[in-house]
A and B are shown apart, each in its own frame.
Chain A
Amino acid sequence: MTSRGTALYVHVPFCMSKCAYCDFASRTPREPAELSSYVDAALAETTAWSDRGVLGDVSTLYFGGGTPTLLGDGLVSLLAGIRERCGLRTDAEITVETNPETTTPEIVSALRGAGVTRMSLGVQSFDDDVLQTLGRRHDAATAQNAARLLAGSGMRVALDLICGVPGQSMESWDASLRRAIDTGAGHVSVYPLSVEEGTPLCRSVDAGRVPEPDPDLAADMMLHAAKVLSAAGMVRYETANHARPGQESRHNTAYWTGVPYIGIGPGAHSMLPAGEFERIARAEGWYDHPWNLVPGTSDAARVRFSVAEKIEDYLAAPLRPPLVAGILTAAEVSAEDVMLGLRMAEGVDVALVENAGLTRVLAELQADGLVEPAGERWRTTERGWLLGNEVFGRVLEAG
């Protein structure tokens, strides 16, 4: 393992209800017992990964979802169980995602007591009409109260906001940004709404009940957010993320900087250096399973894999061999590192680009006004930020 340790992600796949735009792996629990069997399964999986020797130095831990706080006390015991099984650094960042309606004083203080350092609150908007379009269960007042409660807890607070929602005006957006700033949160993520296939929102748009999101308005809102948030001291450090200096998400930064990560829970993804994965796969005898891709091609450098996405399957057998989602060659790894680096405001080192053989591609992107050199680094321009897919696509294609 590298000196940057391992990032550990725990996916809690339950929500009280499904939001209109959500295509994540989550659903309402069928019975209360499902929550406790989930905790048991996640701990069993953690034990397995720990035994495989990859959780000896965990630098960040993130409970995402779904709605982790739906587990209530179960979340506290899950965290305690993970501590027992892993080498969690003393200064580890431990984040819990939550939403306004499950953020109670009890759970906040319990999590605080269990050592959680950071709470990520899914506010999405402080406008009731927008919240309704999104199919959220909470209203603006509930969100406000939850944010205040978290602000007073001593943990760091991150808020999520969504822009480009049909019916959302620039005034509404501006107001949401300002109320987010007023909560004292040190981190705000801004996501332009994307209509994903198969979601209720997608069906509404297809049926003409909800107008299609306007990408130009979303662009204006992203620019406005960057302006308003930076005036409040929160600098955009990644495509969607703004933070006060020092309050950047360390866990998410790990994803963008090639730190290995292990995902626990149904549908959660993991990434390991190919050699590490192969060693484990051999020891576990996964190669014998016909449904599993066999890595070990000499040029494999990085392997991504996940466990069963269906909750029932996961609960029945959390230790089944993972499904390989992608094997990257060294060249692909270099291109991916550049791509991910360009998501970061600080950009990527020119040497990294040069080693990846991408200097020519970056020069072309520069000609299109998408990236620019800044000292010894390449970084995206404002245009390149908003047209990120053009940048990412061309970099990956060249890799």
Chain B
Amino acid sequence: MTNPEYIRNFSIIAHIDHGKSTLADRVLQMTHTIADRDMMEQVLDSMDIERERGITIKAQAVRVMYDADDGHTYQLNLIDTPGHVDFTYEVSRSLAACEGVMLVVDAAQGVEAQTVANALMAMNADLEIIPIINKIDLPAADPERVRHEIEEALAVPADEAVLTSGKSGIGVKDALEAVVARVPAPMGDPDAPTKALIFDSYFDAYRGVVALVRVIDGSISKGMKIRMMASKTVTDVEEVGVRRPANVPVDQLGVGEVGYLITGLKDPSLVKVGDTVTLARDGAEEPLPGYREVKPMVYTGLFPIDGDQYPDLRDALDKLQLNDPALLYEPESSHALGFGFRVGFLGLLHMEVVKERLEREFDLDLLATAPSVEYHAYKTNGEMLALHSPQDLPDPGMIEHIEEPYLKATVLVPPEFVGAVMELAEGHRATFKDMQYLSATTVDMHYEIPLSELIMDYFDQLKSRTKGYASLDYEYIGYKTSELVKLDVLLAGKPVDALSFIVHKDKAYARGKMLTEKLRAIIPRQMFEVPIQAAIGGRIIARETVKAKRKDVLAKCYGGDITRKRKLLEKQKKGKKRMKNVGNIEVPQEAFMAILKVDD
């Protein structure tokens, strides 16, 4: 155990792409935690998808030993956090394990929406904030402007901001010195009953659930009998250790220390992020504050293209959930698509990442239906139905009213794009709340917007209409009544449940019309004519037709052509496998996402 005086626990927080992971890489290198020859980019981002996309999805923690200028060696626990708004809860739990943060701001991009959101979270957690102006070697870097923005927008004194370049390593030592000097040492009572926060967990096929913990009071050692206070799980500690970044077992984790904990439990639902670990007997009375169940925000149907892969999909989801407790799913069956799962996600990025991991790591071909939110339908008898899928909406006659989830959205944008943001908001049923100038170059705009509109292409449109300058953050504020209707899509006269969606009454006609047009372009010509109709409660509001194909023939078929044609026909066959047969109509995957691409 290290004397808490020589421990510093800190996170690096940043808007996405501001260089957080690269900076973390430099810290590992500089402290010789990882030999130069083992260094690869984004060491802490261990998933392939994280490295490829350059994003952090899972929080990570690593202990480094730093010889500071004051002659002492410090134990620094660096807790990397996800940078995307989908994973805000993980960020807040990681912050709860720290006493300070490096707030990384891109020297060219300046303060963005998640910079503000993350800084506010750090302030609310009473953390010491060390502003880091990163990427100062970029040609477009303007540290003075950014320094000013940090002070204006975040009210964080920035005269002592550290200037760094994660890429070249400039200033990284200064940043670590600032951590040692300014981040408070952890305070805790070594003699009090054990209290430790689980701020992340992952699943190891051999060891079961591995929890990442921060000890607040007391200690955790091997063989101890412990209790998780929220899940009420009682178990033995099989192993404790620290991450450097590979797991290194230790005898004990003491006050202020960060490490991992293995109990042998195989069920991730028993070891929840945000939960408090204490002693099984004579434990702490109060858990650490801030725990909440992670609730999915968006839902989508995932169906195997090949129905035979259904059991494989189930196994894959089971396995993935072990590493990702935020992933929820239940079986769903669709007339059009057969058996699949309704899967809940934290947000669209989470959804994309999970789908990609399922396809890549488990070799599945999946079809995803358009994401939907959880609607609350209040029946005339007062009963409330929580709907995860448009298909579950009861007959309109039985419904008293419907509510949908709303968000408070924060958009940071240069003043010249305020008009564009306003216009986009109007098209997405957002209510303007207020706006203020954070600086001469940044306006902070606030809206209330239905989540269903936000997932409807809002972010992409925001980016494109503001030439990429706008940044977005949002938080959930609750349910509100809306005039919603279910829009059904019929192919060749038959309703295709997987294409149904719920939409505001005033937008139903326009969306229905545009969706049928999009589908006409997406659905390839078949052997017969395919009418596409949009309907509300049996009333057709839009119609398009995919004409029957008349000519599809390889006309030349001589000596060498026969092999070529065989290969071509095989390729066509494979192409068809990427499509779903709905009745006898071949529908490409993108048709089910077409509703998201309907621009107003």
Q: How many chain A residues touch B (Cβ–Cβ < 8 Å)? A: 41
Dominant SS among interface residues on chain B: loop
Partner of A269, one of B527, B549, B563: B563
| B135-143, B254-262, B462-470, B550-558 - interface stretch | B550-558
The answer for the CA separation of A145 and B565 in the assembled complex, in Å, is: 35
Residues of the B chain whose Cβ atoms lie less than 8 Å from the Cβ of A192: 551, 553, 555
Residues of the B chain whose Cβ atoms lie less than 8 Å from the Cβ of A286: none
Residues of the A chain whose Cβ atoms lie less than 8 Å from the Cβ of B569: 389, 392-393, 396
CB pair B560 A263 closer than 8 Å: yes
Residues of the B chain whose Cβ atoms lie less than 8 Å from the Cβ of A64: 558
A 377-389 binary contact with B (CB < 8 Å = 1; else 0)? 0000000011111
With A304-B563, A393-B572, A393-B573 known as contacts, the answer to whether A388 contacts B553 (CB < 8 A) is yes
Residues of the B chain whose Cβ atoms lie less than 8 Å from the Cβ of A397: 573
Partner of A239, one of B550, B557, B573: B557
| A45-53, A82-90, A215-223, A292-300 - interface stretch | A215-223
Residues of the B chain whose Cβ atoms lie less than 8 Å from the Cβ of A141: none
CB distance from B575 to the nearest CB of A (A): 11
- A355 interfacial by beta-carbon distance below 8 Å: no
- A306 interfacial by beta-carbon distance below 8 Å: yes
Residues of the B chain whose Cβ atoms lie less than 8 Å from the Cβ of A326: 563, 566
CB pair A215 B551 closer than 8 Å: yes
Q: Write the chain A residue with the least CB distance to B551.
A: A219
CB pair B565 A392 closer than 8 Å: yes
Interface residues of B in 309-339 (CB under 8 A from A): none
CB distance from B521 to the nearest CB of A (A): 14
Interface residues of A in 353-371 (CB under 8 A from B): 368
- B562 interfacial by beta-carbon distance below 8 Å: yes
- A252 interfacial by beta-carbon distance below 8 Å: yes
Q: Write the chain B residue with the least CB distance to A328.
A: B566
Q: How many chain B residues touch A (Cβ–Cβ < 8 Å)? A: 22
CB pair B553 A389 closer than 8 Å: yes
Residues of the B chain whose Cβ atoms lie less than 8 Å from the Cβ of A268: 559-560
CB distance from B490 to the nearest CB of A (A): 22
CB distance from B396 to the nearest CB of A (A): 39
Residues of the A chain whose Cβ atoms lie less than 8 Å from the Cβ of B565: 392
- A194 interfacial by beta-carbon distance below 8 Å: yes
Partner of A385, one of B553, B554, B563: B553
- A351 interfacial by beta-carbon distance below 8 Å: no
Residues of the A chain whose Cβ atoms lie less than 8 Å from the Cβ of B552: 215, 386-390
The answer for the CA separation of A340 and B562 in the assembled complex, in Å, is: 9
A 218-249 binary contact with B (CB < 8 Å = 1; else 0)? 11001000000000000000011000000000
- A271 interfacial by beta-carbon distance below 8 Å: yes
A 316-350 binary contact with B (CB < 8 Å = 1; else 0)? 00000000011000000000100010010000000
The answer for the CA separation of A256 and B553 in the assembled complex, in Å, is: 16
Q: Write the chain A residue with the least CB distance to B526.
A: A390
Residues of the A chain whose Cβ atoms lie less than 8 Å from the Cβ of B555: 190-192, 194, 239-240
CB pair A215 B550 closer than 8 Å: yes
The answer for the CA separation of A325 and B550 in the assembled complex, in Å, is: 32
B 531-555 binary contact with A (CB < 8 Å = 1; else 0)? 0000000000000000101111111
CB pair A216 B557 closer than 8 Å: no
Partner of B554, one of A190, A368, A392: A392
Residues of the B chain whose Cβ atoms lie less than 8 Å from the Cβ of A216: 547, 550-551
CB distance from B550 to the nearest CB of A (A): 4
Partner of A340, one of B557, B570, B572: B557
Residues of the A chain whose Cβ atoms lie less than 8 Å from the Cβ of B549: 215, 387
Interface centre among B527, B552, B555, B565, by most chain A C-beta atoms within 10 angstroms, is: B555
CB distance from A395 to the nearest CB of B (A): 10
A-B complex: 3 closest residue pairs judged by Cβ atoms = A388-B553, A269-B560, A219-B551
Apart from the given pairs A387-B551, A390-B527, 20 other A-B contacts in the complex at a CB distance below 8 Å: A64-B558, A194-B554, A215-B550, A216-B547, A216-B551, A222-B551, A240-B557, A255-B559, A263-B559, A270-B559, A304-B562, A304-B563, A306-B560, A340-B557, A385-B553, A386-B552, A387-B553, A388-B552, A388-B553, A388-B554
- List residues of B whose CB falls within 8 A of some A CB: 527, 547, 549-560, 562-563, 565-566, 569-570, 572-573
A-B contact pairs, 26 of them (CB 8 A): A191-B556, A192-B551, A192-B555, A194-B554, A216-B551, A239-B555, A240-B555, A240-B556, A240-B557, A252-B558, A255-B557, A268-B559, A269-B559, A304-B562, A326-B563, A336-B566, A340-B562, A387-B527, A387-B549, A387-B550, A389-B569, A389-B572, A392-B565, A393-B572, A396-B569, A397-B573
